[in-house]
Amino acid sequence: MYETNYHRASSVDDAVAQFGKGKEAKFLAGGQTLLPVMKQRLAAPSDVIDVAKIKDMVGIDVSGDTVTIKGATTHYDVAQSDAVQKAIPALAHLASMIGDPAVRYRGTIGGSLANNDPAADYPAAVLALGATIKTNKRSLAAEDFFKGLFTTALEDGEIITAVTFPIPVKAGYAKMRHPASRFALTGVFVVKTKAGDIRVAATGASQSGVIRVPAIEQALKANWSASALDSVTISASGLLADIHGSSDYRANLVKVMGQRAVTAAG
Amino acid sequence: MSTVKLTVNGRAVSVDVEDRTLLVHLLRENLNLTGTHVGCDTSQCGACVVHVDGRAVKSCTMLAGQAAGSNVTTIEGLAKGDELHPMQAAFRDNHGLQCGYCTPGMIMSAVDIVHRHGGNLDEETVRHELEGNICRCTGYHNIVKSVLDAAGRMKVAQAAE
């Protein structure tokens, strides 16, 4: 790792101020992606601003029709939360499948979303549930937040302070885990909203990062069942291909994970 | 350089380190606590697992500065004097190690697993929960046996307290 300066922020305002002072600063939350990348010397921030200990950045709040998870809340805390398990069990389940137990103790929802790895789990939940991403500057709809591989609408010095998820009628998540990295070879999150809409998002599949899957949405709109997807064909065009799986393989996984997610949602 | 103050195995320490220092290097190189190992250095293998404020984390994927003010327990902090921690004793009795390289991380993760699940542990849960710890000798069989054995012993020890 190249030299860097570590700062622990006491508040969101303090974090933003510290960020402004650094030549090429980066925010650090759990560090489960940023630190490995810095160790490989693929990133060399002059300053890292630790936001994980800011009190306002940690916690889960369920009120009325929404679940709000603050930016530096760990995957472990989301997975274990009784409130999340009750309101959106698929979201708690998703958090429980990220990485391994030691990674889940450190990694955060804000960090995962800001990084926007094309095979990360949270983007699928955020897009399918139609969540709102709150930053220190504004609120962003999920559709406006994700901008492709490792790219988001976040500007320099902008921190994800919370994510608000509308509580759905039904939701399910299924993923084919890469056995070594535990990232999603493909993961699919299916949602039936209170307004009756069907929203489906896939991660790990597309060259553009997380995507909606209209073919599955239409089939489930007509008939909410795993068998409704039997006749659906997912195009391999634009899907990822690497040593772990071809685009055809991933296209099939989108369908199969979609079916498993519907079964899990009930 | 920064001064990092933290508690390690019950002892308050203050260490001057470069800001890029990882927790595992502070433990090994500044405090000479070499029981915590660096295996893959890519947060996959779990040889570096220690407890930070009671949670089993990979100390190769945490800056020393992030642990400032925290309570850290390493493999050296588990035994009470000459009396091994039940998890350590179970690993010895069940032949839960061969070369021993992964063992400190295995034991720290395993203690955390038992703390989280209490006595409700079965083989499947242990195997699933140990996925962040890699062993290249044992084939895991005796490690899983050790953890299940220790879970029973820790339950008994807790009941006796």
A44 touches chain B (CB under 8 A): no
B18 touches chain A (CB under 8 A): yes
| CATH number for the segment(s) B2-77 | 3.10.20.30
Chain B partners of A101 at a C-beta cutoff of 8 Å? Answer: 56, 109, 112-113, 129, 131-132
A114 and A132: one domain? yes
B132 touches chain A (CB under 8 A): yes
For chain B, which residues make up each domain, given as ranges?
Answer: 2-77, 86-160
pLDDT at B52: 98
The CATH number of whichever domain residue A27 belongs to comes to 3.30.43.10
Q: Specify the fold of B86-160.
A: DNA polymerase; domain 1 (1.10.150)
pLDDT at B160: 73
pLDDT at B66: 98
pLDDT at A179: 86
Q: How far is B154 from chain A (nearest CA, A)?
A: 20
pLDDT at A31: 97
A157 and A176: one domain? no
Among the partner residues B44, B61, B113, nearest to A35 by beta-carbon distance: B61
ipTM passes above 0.90: yes
A256 and A190: one domain? yes
pLDDT digits (tens, 9 = 90+) for B111-128: 999 999 987 899 999 999
Domain assignment of residue A127, given as a range:
57-166
Residue B155: pLDDT over 90: no
A175 and A248: one domain? yes
A75 and A119: one domain? yes
Work out the burial of residue B152: count CB atoms within 10 Å of its CB; fewer than 13 is exposed, 13-18 middle, 19 or more buried. Answer: middle
DSSP 8-state class, residue B37: -
Q: Kindly give the pairing relationship between strand B2-8 and strand B71-73.
A: parallel
B127 touches chain A (CB under 8 A): no
Identify from B2, B6, B20, B59 which residue to disrupt to test chain A contact, counting A C-beta atoms within 10 A and taking the largest count: B20
pLDDT at A97: 96
A77 and A152: one domain? yes
Identify from B22, B42, B62, B66 which residue to disrupt to test chain A contact, counting A C-beta atoms within 10 A and taking the largest count: B66
The CATH number of whichever domain residue A102 belongs to comes to 3.30.465.10
- Where residue B156 falls among pLDDT bands split at 50, 70, 90? confident
Interface of A with B in 231-250 (CB under 8 A): none
Contact assignment for B55 to A31 by CB distance below 8 Å: no
Of A14, A33, A49, the domain-final residue: A49
Of A113, A142, A166, the domain-final residue: A166
Chain B partners of A8 at a C-beta cutoff of 8 Å? Answer: 65-66, 68
Contact assignment for B19 to A2 by CB distance below 8 Å: no
A113 touches chain B (CB under 8 A): no
Whether the CB-CB separation of B57 and B50 falls below 8 Å is answered with yes
Give the residue-averaged pLDDT of B147-152: 96
pLDDT digits (tens, 9 = 90+) for B28-81: 999 999 999 999 999 999 999 999 999 999 999 999 999 999 999 999 999 999
As a whole-number percent, the residues of chain B with pLDDT over 70 amount to 99
Whether the CB-CB separation of A16 and A51 falls below 8 Å is answered with no
Chain A partners of B56 at a C-beta cutoff of 8 Å? Answer: 101-102, 105
Structure pTM?
Answer: 0.96
A219 and A130: one domain? no
Residue of chain B whose alpha carbon sits nearest to that of A1: B20
Residue segments in chain A with a per-residue pLDDT below the cut of 50: none
- Where residue B5 falls among pLDDT bands split at 50, 70, 90? very high
A178 and A261: one domain? yes
- Cβ neighbors of B94 (< 8 A, separation 6 or more) are B142, B145, B146, B149
pLDDT at B51: 98
Question: How many domains is chain A built from?
Answer: 3
